[in-house]
C-alpha cells in the first residue's frame, strides 16, 4: 500500500518483542474461566475423560500443524508446548507465536467438540490464555515438565478425595476441612478406608497427565517385487500417559530431549511476564492468518463478502460484551483493532495473557457464529487469528492509529475492487496486477467508471470505510420515572465509518 501521513503510528510505536535466541521456548495454554465452563457443560468430577481427550486431540493437532513443537504435556484445562531451541517460527516474535498457538488450539477445540460430546450443545464459547517462558538449557526444560507432572499428581489426588467426600454427602466446605493439612499418604488412606479405592489403580491419564510427542514407528513404505513389505522408521504423533519425572522415558526417547537434572522449583524463576506500560491506551489488533486460503476454501465473494464481514462484526461486538474495558473497535476485511481504555487493569496488564485470551475468545466467537451467518456452508478448515498489542500514551495518537487503519481499508478495498473487476472481465490475475501497477486513487476511480460504469463512492460504506463498534449512551426510563429523569444505559451499536475514535 502507498504511504500515508498516518503511518508514523506504526513506525514509531510498534515494537516486536522477540524471544531470546538459543533458548527453548514453552507456550503454556490455560483455560479461561473453565470452572464455570465445566459446570455449565456438566463435566464429570473429579475428571471428565471426554473433556481430557478433547484437550489431547487439540494438542495432537498442534504438533501436526507446527513441526517446531517437539513435546507437549497437558493436565486438566492446561497444555504446555515445547518449541525446539533453534526455532525461527515467526522469527521468534512473542505476540505472533502466542496468539496463533492459542487461536489454533481454540479453533480445534470448538471444531472437535461434537466428536467428544455429540449430545451436548456448546453453550458458551470456550477460550484460553497463554504465556511464553524461555529456558536456557535442556535441564530446566526437563524440570519444568517434571514440575507440571508433580502438580498434576498433587491436584488430582486432592480432587479425587474432595469429590468422593462431596458425593458421599459432605458439603464442599466440610470436604475442604477434612482434607486441610493432609499429606499424600493420608489421602491414599482416606480413599482406601472410606471408599475402597486404591489411588494407584485410577486411570493413568488422571494421575500422570498426557504427554504428546513424535514416536519412531516402523512403517511400510512400499512392497518389493517379491511381495515383501519394506519398512522404514517414521515419526508419528503419539499420546501417552507415562512418568516423565524419572530418567527412563527420556533415555528411551533421546530424539526429543536429553537427560538432565535441576530442582523443580527453579523453573518458576523464568516465568517473568512483560507488563504493558501504565496510563497508556492499549490496542489489540487481531488479524486472520492465511485468510486468502481460508476465503478461497469457503468460496467467499470477491472483492468483499458481506456475510463474512458481518460475521467479523458480530464477533467483535460480542468481544466488547466480554471485555468491558474495550471502548472502541475498528475492523475491515479479516482484521479488527480493539482499543482498551488507558486505565485498564485487565490481567494486571500482562501482555501475553491479554493477547492470548483476546485472540482465543475472538476465534471461539467466530466459530460459534459461523452457522448463523453461513447456514449452508460447512466449516471446512479451522480459522485462526494472530494478535499484537500496541501502546499509545495519548488519545490523539490512538485516533491517528484508527485513521491509519481506515486509510489502509480504503486503499486496499479500492485496489481489490479494481483487481477483481478486471479478473471477472476476463483478465488474468498477473495482467490485472500489471494494469494497476503505479496507479493513483483517481486512476482507479476512472478505471472503474470508464470500464465498468461503477462509481466507487457508491459502493457500500461497509466495504469502503470498514466497521466501528462502540457503546453509545442512551437515556431510557425504567418502570418508574423520578423527576422526569431516566436511567442512562449503555448499548452496543455498530456504525459504518470511523468518525470520532474512542469515546
SS3 of 72-93: the string is EEEECCEEEEEECCCCCHHHHE
Q: 23-214+238-270 has which CATH code?
A: 3.30.70.3000
Q: What is the pLDDT of residue 273?
A: 67
Where do the domains of the chain lie? 23-214+238-270, 281-496
**Sites in the chain below the pLDDT cut of 50:** 1, 259-262, 479-503
Using the structure block, give the residue that is written with the C-alpha cell 460459534.
Answer: 368
Give the strands of the sheet with 69-75, arranged side by side.
128-135, 24-31, 78-83, 69-75, 210-223, 229-240
pLDDT score at 9: 83
Q: What is the pLDDT of residue 237?
A: 92
Q: In what order do the strands lie in the sheet with 467-476?
A: 385-392, 281-288, 335-340, 326-332, 467-476, 487-496
Q: Given this model, what pLDDT does residue 485 score?
A: 45
pLDDT computed for residue 500 by the predictor: 41
Cell of 449: 467508471
Which residue, 305, 303, 347, is CA-closest to 325? 347
- pLDDT at residue number 272: 60
- Return all residues near 82 (Cβ < 8 A) that are at least 6 apart: 24, 25, 26, 69, 70, 71, 72, 141, 145, 257
Q: 377 in helix, strand or coil?
A: coil
The reported pLDDT for the residue numbered 413 is 96
User: Top-level CATH class of 281-496?
Assistant: alpha beta
Q: How far apart are alpha carbons 488 and 318 in whole angstroms?
A: 21
Give tens-digit pLDDT for 243-292. 999 989 988 888 887 543 445 555 665 566 688 888 899 999 999 999 99
* Three-class secondary structure assignment of 290-328: CHHHHHHHCCCCCCCCHHHHHHHHHHHHHHHHHCCCEEE
User: Rounded to two decimals, what is the model's pTM?
Assistant: 0.82
Q: Which three cell numbers stand for residue 347?
A: 490481567
Residues in Cβ contact with 402 at an 8 Å cutoff, skipping those fewer than 6 apart? 328, 330, 337, 339, 498, 501, 502
Q: Is the peptide bond before 46 cis (omega within 30 degrees of 0)?
A: yes
| Among candidate residues 439, 112, 463, 129, the one with its CA nearest the CA of residue 273 | 129
Amino acid at each position: 500500500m502507498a504511504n500515508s501521513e498516518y503511518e508514523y503510528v506504526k513506525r514509531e510505536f510498534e515494537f516486536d518483542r522477540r524471544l531470546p535466541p538459543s533458548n527453548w521456548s514453552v507456550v503454556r495454554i490455560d483455560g479461561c474461566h473453565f470452572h464455570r465452563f465445566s459446570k455449565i457443560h456438566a463435566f464429570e468430577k473429579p475428571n471428565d475423560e471426554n473433556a481430557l481427550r478433547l484437550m489431547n486431540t487439540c494438542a495432537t493437532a498442534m504438533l501436526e500443524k507446527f513441526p517446531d513443537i517437539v513435546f507437549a504435556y497437558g493436565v486438566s484445562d492446561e497444555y504446555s508446548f515445547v518449541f525446539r531451541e533453534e526455532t525461527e517460527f515467526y522469527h521468534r516474535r512473542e505476540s505472533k507465536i502466542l496468539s496463533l498457538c492459542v487461536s489454533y488450539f481454540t479453533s480445534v477445540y470448538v471444531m472437535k467438540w461434537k466428536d467428544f460430546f455429540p449430545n451436548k450443545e456448546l453453550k458458551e464459547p470456550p477460550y484460553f490464555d497463554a504465556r511464553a517462558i524461555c529456558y536456557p538449557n535442556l535441564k530446566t526444560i526437563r524440570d519444568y515438565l517434571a514440575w507440571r507432572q508433580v502438580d498434576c499428581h498433587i491436584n488430582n489426588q486432592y480432587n479425587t478425595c474432595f469429590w468422593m467426600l462431596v458425593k458421599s454427602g459432605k458439603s464442599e466446605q466440610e470436604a475442604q476441612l477434612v482434607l486441610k493439612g493432609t499429606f499424600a499418604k493420608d489421602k491414599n488412606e482416606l480413599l482406601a478406608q472410606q471408599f475402597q479405592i486404591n489411588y494407584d489403580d485410577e486411570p493413568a491419564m488422571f494421575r500422570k497427565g498426557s504427554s504428546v510427542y513424535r514416536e519412531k514407528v516402523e512403517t511400510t513404505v512400499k512392497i518389493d517385487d517379491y511381495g515383501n513389505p519394506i519398512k522404514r522408521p517414521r515419526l508419528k504423533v503419539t499420546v501417552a500417559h507415562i512418568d516423565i519425572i524419572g530418567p527412563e522415558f527420556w533415555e528411551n526417547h533421546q530424539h526429543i530431549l536429553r537427560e538432565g537434572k535441576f530442582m523443580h522449583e527453579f523453573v518458576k524463576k523464568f516465568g517473568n511476564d512483560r507488563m504493558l506500560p501504565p496510563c497508556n491506551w492499549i490496542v489489540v489488533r487481531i488479524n486472520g492468518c492465511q485468510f486468502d486460503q481460508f476465503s478461497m476454501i469457503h468460496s467467499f465473494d470477491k472483492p468483499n463478502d458481506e456475510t463474512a464481514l458481518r460475521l467479523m462484526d458480530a464477533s467483535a461486538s460480542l468481544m466488547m460484551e466480554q471485555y468491558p474495558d474495550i471502548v472502541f473497535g475498528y475492523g475491515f476485511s479479516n482484521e479488527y483493532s480493539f482499543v482498551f481504555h488507558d486505565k485498564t487493569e485487565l490481567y494486571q496488564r500482562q501482555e501475553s495473557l491479554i493477547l492470548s485470551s483476546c485472540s482465543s475468545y475472538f476465534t471461539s466467537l467466530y466459530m460459534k457464529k459461523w452457522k448463523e451467518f453461513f447456514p449452508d456452508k460447512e466449516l471446512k478448515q479451522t480459522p485462526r487469528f494472530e494478535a499484537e498489542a500496541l501502546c499509545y500514551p495519548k488519545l490523539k495518537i490512538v485516533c491517528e492509529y484508527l485513521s491509519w487503519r481506515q486509510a489502509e481499508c480504503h486503499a486496499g478495498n479500492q485496489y481489490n475492487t479494481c483487481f477483481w473487476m478486471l479478473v471477472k472481465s476476463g483478465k488474468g490475475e498477473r495482467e490485472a496486477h500489471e494494469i494497476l501497477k503505479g496507479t493513483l486513487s483517481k486512476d482507479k476511480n476512472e478505471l472503474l467508471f470508464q470500464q465498468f460504469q461503477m462509481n466507487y463512492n457508491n459502493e457500500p460504506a461497509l466495504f469502503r470505510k470498514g466497521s466501528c463498534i462502540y457503546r453509545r449512551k442512551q437515556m431510557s426510563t425504567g418502570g418508574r420515572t423520578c423527576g422526569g429523569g431516566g436511567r442512562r444505559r449503555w448499548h452496543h451499536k455498530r456504525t459504518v465509518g470511523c468518525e470520532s475514535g474512542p469515546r
